[in-house]
C-alpha cells in the first residue's frame, strides 16, 4: 500500500501573544515556535499504521520554505520513507486552490493507493486543500475521516457529520482522505529515529519541476486584524446582598430597569 501524506508546518499560536506584522497581511512569527499541523500528525500516524499492517511506502510532501525540512525529517523519523519539499519561495501568495494545484502537479507522477491530508490547518483554517486536490486528481475522497479500513482495492471509511452523526462510505482506490484529529494516537519520534532521519535525503523541487500549467489564485488576503472586543465579563464579589445590589445598579445604568 503506497501512501502520500501532505503535511504543513504551522506556527503554534494557541498560548502565544499574536500580533499583526507591518504588512497587515500576516502575523509576527519571529518569537513563535513551529510544528507539524495537528491533524496532519494524525494523518501521518494513520498512514504508518496502514503501512505496518500491509507494507508499502509512505511519501510525505510539503509546500514550504527551507525550515519545513525540519518537519519533514520528523515525519521520516516517525515512519515515512520518502520526503519531498516544494519550494514555497518559488511561488507568489498562496491560497487553498493554488496550493492544491501545486500539490497536484507534484503528485501526478507518483505511485499511490491513498493520499492523506489533515482535515484543517490551524493557521488559516481553510479546510480546502484536501478535497480540492482530490477533485484535481479526479479520484474519490472522504473528508473528516474518523475510521478507515483498507483492502487491496477499496477503503471503508467513517466520516464525522454534524450533530454527532457518522457516515459510512465504501470507496475505490486510489482515493484521498482528510483525517480528523482523534482517529488514533500519534507516536513520538525516538532519538535514534531522529538521528537516522537527519541523514536521509529530502527531495526539493521548485517551479521548474512543476507541470507547466496556469496556476490560478482565487483569493487574496487584504487585511488581518485582531477581532474587536464587543462583550465584557464582570465578576461581582461580596455577599449575596452586596452582589444583588451591584447587579441592580448595573441593570439601572444599562436602562434595563
48 band by pLDDT with thresholds 50, 70 and 90: very high
Q: When comparing pLDDT for 152 and 120, which is higher?
A: 120
Output the average pLDDT for the chain. Answer: 91
* CB neighbour burial string for 6-20, b if at least 16 within 10 angstroms, e if fewer: bbbbbbeeeeeeeee
**Edge-to-edge strand order for the sheet containing 166-172?**
166-172, 154-160, 141-150, 175-179, 114-118, 3-6, 58-64, 82-87, 203-205
Instruction: Give the least confident one: 12-16, 72-76, 125-129, 194-198.
Output: 12-16
CA atoms of 7 and 145, how far apart (whole Å):
16
pLDDT tens digits, 128-170: 999 999 999 999 999 999 999 998 789 999 999 988 899 999 9
Residues 6 or more apart from 158 whose CB is under 8 A from it? 145, 146, 147, 148, 166, 167, 168, 169
Q: What is the pLDDT of residue 212?
A: 60
Q: What is the pLDDT of residue 166?
A: 94
pLDDT tens digits, 63-90: 999 999 999 999 999 999 999 999 999 9
Instruction: Give the least confident one: 17-26, 68-77, 245-254.
Output: 17-26
CA atoms of 141 and 177, how far apart (whole Å):
6
CA–chain centroid gap for 216, Å, is 21
Residues 6 or more apart from 14 whose CB is under 8 A from it? none
C-alpha grid cell for residue 77?
A: 523519523
pLDDT at residue 24 greater than cutoff 90 = no
Q: What is the pLDDT of residue 37?
A: 95
Residues 6 or more apart from 131 whose CB is under 8 A from it? 141, 143, 176, 178
192 band by pLDDT with thresholds 50, 70 and 90: very high
Angle at 190 between CA 185 and CA 196, to 5 degrees: 125
pLDDT tens digits, 196-224: 999 999 999 998 888 666 666 667 788 88
- Domain spans of the chain, in order of start: 3-205
Q: What is the pLDDT of residue 218?
A: 66
Q: What is the pLDDT of residue 171?
A: 96
Q: What is the pLDDT of residue 136?
A: 95
Residues 6 or more apart from 215 whose CB is under 8 A from it? 91, 98, 101, 102
**Bridging pattern class, strands 82-87 and 175-179:** unpaired
Q: What is the pLDDT of residue 38?
A: 96
- % of the chain surpassing 90 pLDDT: 66
- Topology given in CATH for the domain delimited by 3-205: Rossmann fold (3.40.50)
C-alpha grid cell for residue 163?
A: 450533530
- % of the chain surpassing 70 pLDDT: 97
Amino acid at each position: 500500500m503506497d501512501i502520500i501524506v501532505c503535511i504543513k508546518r504551522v506556527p503554534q499560536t494557541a498560548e502565544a501573544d499574536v500580533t499583526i506584522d507591518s504588512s497587515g497581511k500576516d502575523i509576527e512569527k519571529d518569537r513563535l515556535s513551529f510544528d507539524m499541523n495537528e491533524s496532519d500528525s494524525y494523518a501521518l500516524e494513520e498512514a504508518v499504521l496502514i503501512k505496518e499492517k500491509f507494507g508499502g511506502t509512505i511519501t510525505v510532501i510539503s509546500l514550504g520554505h527551507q525550515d519545513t525540512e525540519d518537519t519533514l525529517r520528523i515525519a521520516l523519523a516517525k515512519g515515512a520513507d520518502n520526503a519531498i519539499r516544494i519550494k514555497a519561495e518559488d511561488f507568489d501568495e498562496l491560497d487553498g486552490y493554488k496550493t492544491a494545484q501545486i500539490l497536484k502537479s507534484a503528485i501526478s507522477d507518483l505511485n499511490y493507493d491513498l493520499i492523506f491530508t489533515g482535515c484543517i490547518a490551524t493557521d488559516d483554517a481553510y479546510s480546502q486543500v484536501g478535497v480540492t486536490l482530490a477533485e484535481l486528481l479526479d479520484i474519490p475522497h472522504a473528508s473528516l475521516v474518523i475510521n478507515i479500513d483498507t483492502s487491496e482495492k477499496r477503503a471503508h471509511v467513517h466520516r464525522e457529520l454534524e450533530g454527532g452523526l457518522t457516515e459510512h462510505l465504501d470507496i475505490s482506490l486510489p482515493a484521498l482522505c482528510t483525517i480528523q484529529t482523534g482517529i488514533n494516537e500519534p507516536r513520538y519520534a525516538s532519538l535514534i529515529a531522529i538521528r537516522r532521519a537527519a541523514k536521509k535525503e529530502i527531495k526539493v523541487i521548485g517551479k521548474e519541476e512543476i507541470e507547466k500549467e496556469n496556476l490560478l489564485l482565487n483569493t487574496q488576503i487584504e487585511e488581518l486584524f485582531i477581532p474587536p472586543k464587543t462583550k465584557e465579563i464582570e465578576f461581582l464579589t461580596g455577599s449575596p446582598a452586596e452582589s444583588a445590589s451591584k447587579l441592580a445598579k448595573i441593570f439601572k445604568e444599562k436602562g434595563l430597569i
